[in-house]
Amino acid sequence: MTNEMRALQKSAPGKGLEMISAPVPEIGPDDVLIRVKKTGICGTDIHIWQWDDWAARTVPTPLITGHEFAGEIVEMGRNVTGLTLGQRCSGEGHLIGKTSRQSRAGKFHLDPETRGIGVNEQGAFADYLRLPAFNVVALPDDVPDDIGAILDPLGNAVHTALSFDLLGEDVLVTGAGPIGIMAAAVARHAGARHVVITDVNQARLDLAGQVADVRPVNVAEEDLRDVIPALGMTQGFDVGLEMSGNQAALDQMVETLVMGGRIALLGIPPGKSPVDWSRIVFKAITIKGVYGREIFETWYKMIAMLQNGLDVSRVITHRFPADAYRDGFDAMLSGQSGKVVLDWT
Ligand code: ZN
């Protein structure tokens, strides 16, 4: 093994990323070194590429970006047990503390001290990644590296979709980005009756229809309220999964939910967003904010579902060698892509 590696770095404040040669990370006694094979480009990476207000506030420079990955363990710290060299893996990109009340209660995803690889700490867009062994998630043989590289966003989709019981329920997903599409596929897999997904981007709605057995609705052309009787539903949707951060989408969701409906919110509005609270009160709606994945219950559930027929492979629309990362980011920036995977092998 050489001690230099390729890495995609935000070298200084401003747009873009640059491929650099960086030292292979040294691991501590509780870490593993992972040879990265495939990585997914996330919406978060696009914010960092574009260097918007959030990125400028949050991301230190220089920083190796990226947090969606699959690879293989090539080195283990002396305290690491239960893992093996050559083990294929993905991993949780949130590095948690062990001292907060939430962590000590086992609710690791609620730890307020969380730091993210590729956002606050050195990331996965590189030939090698250092990760605490605690964060490693082993990949079974029947989950390929391409899918391993998108388990992080699939985890967001699974965490959101499984926030409420979906068996026999009518589910509305607002926002047909890759996570919305995967959430719709999970809702279908989890036994929902009708799954409707909305957007104003027809390419994404078409992709949703290819990935899962869902009813895509372009709300720029079709009134969501007409879809309810067309599908034979009497009152409206039982569960809403808000994945867009778009105010009109949330309004439509509240409007078309049944009395006592439930909403899981993953989409992030760009700023403050007016909400018709009286409507929510009088409809007795429950709202749950969703962050990250449950560590490690969501990982367990999603891998089990992948082994039990959940197929999200078609959400990956573009694959590029890591050196052609600009093409990958261009595809993401076009707004016409699903997941984009970079190959580091
Ligand atoms: Zn991500």
pLDDT tens digits along 204-247: 999 999 999 999 999 999 999 999 999 999 999 999 999 999 99
The neighbouring-strand residues paired with 137 are 90
In the chain, CATH 3.90.180.10 sits at 4-150+312-343
Q: Which helix (H) or strand (E) holds 189?
A: helix 178-189
**What is the pTM (predicted TM-score) of this model?**
0.96
Catalytically annotated residue among 39, 44, 174, 256: 44
CATH number of 156-289: 3.40.50.720
Residue 1's pLDDT band (boundaries 50, 70, 90)?
A: low
**Between vectors from CA 309 to CA 306 and to CA 310, what angle results, nearest 5°?**
55
Distance of CA 30 from the midpoint of ligand 1 (Å): 24
In the chain, CATH 3.40.50.720 sits at 156-289
pLDDT in tens, 39-59: 999 999 999 999 999 999 999
CATH entry, 4-150+312-343, from 3.40.50.360, 3.90.180.10, 2.160.10.10, 3.40.50.720:
3.90.180.10
Structure-block tokens of residue 283: 């409809």
Longest dimension (CA), the chain: 64
pLDDT at res. 69: 98
Does residue 21 contact residue 126 with C-beta atoms inside 8 Å?
no
Query: Does 44 participate in catalysis according to the annotation?
Result: yes
Distance of CA 120 from the midpoint of ligand 1 (Å): 14
pLDDT at res. 243: 97
The neighbouring-strand residues paired with 31 are 132
C-alpha to C-alpha distances, 52 to 13, 55, 59, 272, 279, nearest whole angstrom: 10, 5, 10, 17, 33
Q: Give the mean pLDDT of 184-209.
A: 97
- pLDDT of 2 higher than 90: no
Distance of CA 281 from the midpoint of ligand 1 (Å): 33
C-beta atoms surrounding 184 within 10 Å: 31
Q: Give the mean pLDDT of 186-211.
A: 97
Distance of CA 223 from the midpoint of ligand 1 (Å): 31
Query: Does 67 participate in catalysis according to the annotation?
Result: no
User: What's the rounded Cα separation, in Å, for the pair 151 and 145?
Assistant: 10
Residues with CB under 5 A from ligand 1 (ion): 42, 68, 152-153
Distance of CA 272 from the midpoint of ligand 1 (Å): 23
Does residue 243 contact residue 160 with C-beta atoms inside 8 Å?
yes
The single-letter DSSP state of residue 295 is T
Per DSSP bridges, beta strands 339-343 and 171-174 are: unpaired
